[in-house]
Structure 1
């Protein structure tokens, strides 16, 4: 942008160019400004500091010109660029030589804006004292700044009667509509249609009766519906969870990062009297822009439930009859001492394994990584509390660790970022359903697809709702066949391609090595997208059996010397450690005697029954968690940990971008894991060297990334046998839906009610054979579900949601990619 005083020059009509962008020069309130061609007048005015009032306008939505509040005066300057009447600045592109007068300099514009405001207030109720938007309402603010001081809506003419409707209307379990407040700006309907791709809400009726509504049998069930509450400028749309709970001026706001997925979305946390009242989307153009998922917005009640742990616990000694003692409250120093004594004995007896889960901040993950090596003398540590493979272990070391956007460029290949999703010619999704597993990625892809910039190719067993909304080309792929599908796609990919692989590829034989090979041969850029917020940071922090912090190979002598020197040690364990599955097996076999476990749900692990048996078999268990679980109930020492609102920290998102925040609340009842680990390490005589988040962060930064050689070979998972179709076996396809039975979604019944109905997707032939209700039986049990037809589902495959029924697919049915049998239920048959 360039600005100059308003004066005529010899080349005033010439078209300027800056950086290859065509510029036009306009005059706004007496100031000349050069802006890119097709810039809207309202945006050009913002560049010189003129704020034109508006309601329908939003920089991320297509222009609508619905509210007319942004009217400006554009007189004829002798060049044919003028208009006889005020114009909506939110829909009008600038033109060379145009003269614009806003409400600041033009009585015509000011009068027009006051008139529009008066019309909007004719039917809008003056219920600001009880409206959730009161105190942060654009209509309130602009009625004062750009409206009349007195109303002409007098009792003599119409007795002051305003339009009313029954209220509120439930657009969904989460979203309530007060129709009399609506000014029909269309922000909500445009968001649903353009951004989320869920046009369940629409404008109904016409004229004075026009209103927002839904079909009777189609509620606004979108994973992104909460955004319409935030962008509604008048309080017509409110949250069932927050409605009438607080006033904006009673709240204290803090910035944060969403903890439910690996997207790293910026959020705003509003709290009062030590309790979070609501969460809003933060404005971060590089990541989530101004949108977040409903899970990020509403799923925060888990930290305030009655089962939250608020003090350490230790187990009493066993009774004389051999009965196990009960857990009892303990002080922090006592818990440190008991934990250290038990772990020392377990280390001496056979060793200790460490399972950290994927919810940790980078600083806490680093503390676990250092604790395992320094205090326990082992590389038996893994964050992957889910199905995994040896191939993935090598893949993370070779292609993920120290490759992100905040890491030095390696091998001359630029890391993948959100912006690349909008500039790539093709984005391939393998083992990843972004609408369910990475909502911000889905929205950025949809934005690019709508702009005509990106082609999406998805490897999937059927055309999912999310892939259809991305206009994706679906390569129908049965679980286990992803490696072959990727190789077949190789000739179509080039340097303009981004290949996103999800964690579900971990157990597909050869899929990760195929993805790496295809990316290398085609020039495509490769990125790994895990599900949980702490997964990528755990890789960088060294919570893997083959990696030390900073991507240092655990079996590389130079890397060990480097880390040992930084930690003030003579040496570190030389042998590569056990992964999560091997730790579980070693505990069950008595090869390991102790376990340190953090936030792991056995039902999420590769073999839930084996995980439970391993915890039972362990001689000594130290558990870290936010809430009471079956793991904490079985532990010998339990430490309460702080939720993300109660501590500072950082996540590393899928890009490798570090996302840090400061504590919003202070709760002395729980501590960051790193503080408890430091306390145990001191009792063991092996101090970690830090006790605060800031100290741990500084040490990790000082340690830095490994710049030495690393292995790029991947060990393939043994091929699974193909199912025997003659016996009626089907391959099980599954992944978690965004809203499901996850423990971090507990406590909000309204959010829970928006989850998609769990169904089993089958082919038309199977539906006709078995009916509308089916029972599936695997090697771990059975489950019965309503059936729906997926017309393009790969033959011989059945899909079910992973964590929406019972204890979940892994616990109650079978492992993904293995076989199940199907039998029919009772009921009338037909199409779904």
Structure 2
């Protein structure tokens, strides 16, 4: 039996389109009915995901209602269906309407198809073949429009604009940023930002996809290739755990462009800028093309045989208990499973992928969402805990934005006032050291509403204070879950990476259970769910990622990891790696820091260049095939691991191909923990460390266009003005933290007691970690 919802017959309308009888829901437009049965009606302004504008008139059709013809053409995108309606989309009259509209559109449109990046993919170009005249009757001067520079990601050629307003409706209704608009009237109408500012939405690249002409194009891709030169390969995004579906457009094995691939259950037809433009990072200057070993303090390129022999000898020098294996959380299932086999074969229980987490008291293992991604758009209430959702998973935030547009109430408990693109029903902004207390307050409101607190939390909840705002949030959550459909508690990365994450996780789970809401914890890493399922975690007696750095090992294996940027505590990581006797690095890049600490670098391919499997937030395993060629002698990681394991004669490396590898992969039971970290209290200034949207991994940090974007803020210490005044510091002044000098910026989003210093910047990667007490002094 189908699990898909059905529409009652009483809610269906019968009509006829080009002689084909069909049924569709009440309130649908003619163009939807035509699309459902494969009848093509030309259109420019209509888009199935955008509000109706009906301003291009290209979809004019001939309609008969109640047995009588309507005396004029009607736009199919804005005309609701009625019972017994008959529609002609290709009658003589309908075609005349469409040809007349096309003539108007082409009057001013520049004839620059040979130099337009949309040439070959242009809706206007396609439709003009069927509906355009061979000769123009226009004799007046053509209209020209000055271009705006709207940032490093989107190129403009606004003389080509046909005023369909798709981009305007996207930025207002989907992105929620209201950055584009129409100015002027008639022939003076312009689409732009009015003041010539950069478009800053994290979804800006989608205006390229919705633009039906070449007015908005991909700036990094500009003039690089033609559509017919590119080969499209399906792939997925790997910079967050949503796993957005996309197409890699490659020429001769090099990715030149990335565009969205429709998947309603994951990313619909959209793509975040982070996934769209990150391919530039694949071809950075420090991409390593051949194996290298360090002999007598000098790096030298070598053969694979020599490098693998060198790596194998290095790993044999220390006992298994002295070996730590650190795995990047975007590594594929295949790579993760082989790393577990390698650890087992070498006798080490110290393996972990949770590099950015500080609190492991409760196990801290990522899991799939309780409320699937598609259902987030239907919730009526949500509580965000420690989450800058726009930057953490942009397209999950889009789903919540759509829910708010239909009346959902969103409440937050955050360590800073993050920038949301929807109105919040309530928010609690406290410094990191007070975040647990703020959530305890919400939990106490849940107990006051009738919930029973678990024994481990009862005393702390009982001692907490509560206010009316917390009670309102709990009441809204309970009402939404019980009477309106659903509610969700989302635990974000600023909570998962918090030094008391176990408390935040336990309290968030309790609040979700108490209100009947779903509990969705954002995984830290594109494949954190998959790696956790496979058990790429410390074994019995094994040390977690932080412990094996705080208690340095003699040998380390770094897999896809870039020190110090990928660690929660970069300074501790560098200290441990520098003191190690052997460091074997599997890496796509050879940064200066990696060259300093490693003894051998084995070049591995990145996700767009390999066959791999990743698991997304819904627990969906998505397999992808290589869409590009790895540079030089770089090889897929699973092949390098197989060769190394084979050379060491370890069990589990006897397979011949990827199918043989996958046949041996199985899920492992993950031990459960219910511990809580020690409650740390203290006054003074505490560091808030969030991961910038475009610096979350090595590929993003090398994507040049993304790094030029305003969302990629320069490294700075951010304080609110009152806190800075108490410390005697001025806006723009240089301040010292240890040996690091950073500019001070006043930021009203930062609460008292906190200094917001973003992680993963070159200047901030070795500063004290998230939640640490810091001292600022004048430079």
Please, what TM-score do these two structures have when normalized by structure 1? 0.83
The structure 1 residue matched to 2:151, chosen from 166, 169, 172, is: 172
**After superposition, where does 1:155-234 map in structure 2 within 5 Å?**
157-158=139-140, 161-166=141-146, 168-216=147-195, 218-234=197-213
Q: CA contact under 8 A between 1:27 and 1:97: conserved in structure 2?
A: yes
In the other structure, the counterpart of 1:794 is 751
Alignment equivalent of 2:214, drawn from 232, 235, 241:
235
Equivalence for 2:466: none
The secondary structure found in structure 2 opposite 1:819 is coil
Shift in Å, 1:747: 4.7
Of the candidates 463, 482, 487, which is equivalent to residue 435 of structure 2? Answer: 482
Hey, what's the Cα distance between the residues in 1 that align with 2:234 and 2:637? 21
Q: Could you tell me which residue of structure 2 aligns to residue 285 of structure 1?
A: 264
Deviations 1:706-765 (A, max 9, x none): 5xxx76542212222221xxxxx3232231221348532345443322133446543342
Q: Residues 356 and 95 (structure 1 numbering): CA distance in 2 closer, same or farther, change over 3 Å?
A: same
Correspondence list, 1:467-616, <5 A: 468-490=421-443, 491=446, 492=474, 493-494=477-478, 495=481, 496-506=486-496, 507-509=498-500, 510-546=503-539, 575-587=540-552, 592-616=554-578
Between the two proteins, the alignment pairs up a number of residues equal to 727
* Aligned counterparts of 2:441 and 2:655: Cα–Cα separation in 1: 50
In structure 2, the gaps of 5 or more residues are 1-5, 447-473
Match of 2:3 in 1: none
Answer yes or no: is 1:60 the counterpart of 2:49: yes
Question: How far is 1:277 from its partner?
Answer: 0.9
C-alpha displacement of 1:134? 0.6
- Per-residue deviation, 1:334: 2.3
Q: Deviations over 1:630-686 (max 9, x none)?
A: 224432221000012211112212222212211112346211222111111112221
Partner of 2:449: none
Give the deviation of 1:439 after TM superposition.
0.8
Please tell me whether the aligned partners of residues 777 and 820 of structure 1 are also in contact (alpha carbons under 8 angstroms). Answer: no
- Superposed CA deviations along residues 337-367 of structure 1, whole A, max 9, x for unmatched, are 222222122126x531100122211211121
TM-score normalised according to structure 2 size: 0.88
CA distance in structure 2 between the partners assigned to 1:719 and 1:129 by the alignment: 65
CA distance in 1, matches of 2:556, 2:64: 80
SS at match of 1:372: helix
Is residue 683 from structure 1 mapped to residue 667 from structure 2 by the alignment? no
Per-residue deviation, 1:780: 7.0
- 1:782 and 1:655 mapped to 2: Cα distance? 42
- Displacement after TM superposition at 1:37 (Å): 1.1
> What is the rounded CA distance, in whole Å, between the counterparts of 1:781 and 1:543 in structure 2?
35
Are 2:105 and 1:140 aligned?
no
Q: Secondary structure at the match of 2:255?
A: strand
* Unpaired segments ≥5 residues, structure 1: 1-16, 317-323, 406-414, 547-574, 724-728, 826-832
Q: 1:133 touches 1:235 (CA, 8 Å); kept in 2?
A: yes
- Aligned equivalent of 1:752, options 707, 714, 735: 707
CA contact (8 A) 1:674 1:691 kept: no
Partner of 1:674: 638
SS of the residue 1:475 aligns to: strand
Question: Partner residue of 2:412?
Answer: 458
Flag the 1:705–1:636 CA change in 2: closer, same or farther, 3 A. closer
Residue 446 (str. 1) matches residue 401 (str. 2): yes
Give the superposed CA RMSD.
Answer: 2.5
Q: Is the 8 A contact 1:250 1:272 kept in 2?
A: yes
User: For the structure 1 residues 775 and 676, does the alpha-carbon distance in structure 2 shift closer, same or farther, using more than 3 Å as the test?
Assistant: same
Structure 2 distance, partners of 1:222, 1:772, is: 26
How many Å separate the matches in 2 of 1:596 and 1:213?
Answer: 47
Post-superposition Cα deviations, 1:312-335, rounded to whole Å, max 9, x if no partner, equal: 12233xxxxxxx442322222222
Q: Could you say which residue in structure 2 is the equivalent of 1:431? A: 386
Deviation sequence 1:355-399 (CA, Å, 0-9, x none): 0122211211121122111x212220011222322225x141xxx
> Distance between the aligned counterparts of 1:84 and 1:705, measured in 2?
69
On the 8 A contact 1:772/1:788 being kept in 2, the answer is no
**Which of 330, 335, 360 lines up with 2:307 in the alignment?**
335
Deviation at 1:502, TM superposition (A): 2.4
